[in-house]
Amino acid sequence: MSTSSAPVRMTRQRAAVADALEGTDEFRSAQQLHETLRTRGDAVGLATVYRTLQALVDGGEVDVLRTEDGESLYRRCARREHHHHLVCRRCGRTVEIDGPTVEAWAAMVGAEHGFGEIEHTVELWGTCRDCREA
């Protein structure tokens, strides 16, 4: 038997998207990445950018989070373990942080109220020094 998972192919497009993510430590939107690639010369269809990002997210390679106005931002994070982010709402610059106590707290509060399958969203937004001075 097999896991019947389709073999994943390495294509120019996938390499390009992955590379664009490697190139920055800021959270970027799919559209920004698409634009970056187009400018850089290795154009990739927008749909493909979205598909690739989704795949990377599913594989835990990339983190996503949503802006206040619903746009998804992607970032290749250093640590694969669960963590949170302090993101500059202006430029996307990001600092990875972990809330050692948050997980436990969330699980406890959930159980306390009879809720199961608890998940939590903890993100910090701010304006980084450079953006404030600009």
Q: With binding defined as CB under 7 A, does residue 127 bind DNA?
A: no
29: left (phi over 0), alpha (psi -120 to 50) or beta: beta
124 within 8 A of 86, measured Cβ to Cβ: yes
Question: What span, in angstroms and rounded, lies between the C-alpha atoms of 78 and 58?
Answer: 16
Q: With binding defined as CB under 8 A, does residue 82 bind a copy of itself?
A: no
Question: Pick from DNA, a copy of itself, none: which does 29 bind, CB < 5 to 8 A by kind?
Answer: DNA
Q: With binding defined as CB under 8 A, does residue 51 bind a copy of itself?
A: no
17 within 8 A of 36, measured Cβ to Cβ: no
Q: With binding defined as CB under 7 A, does residue 44 bind DNA?
A: yes
- Interface residues toward a copy of itself, by CB under 8 A: 66, 70, 86, 88, 95, 97, 99, 105-106, 109-110, 113-129, 132
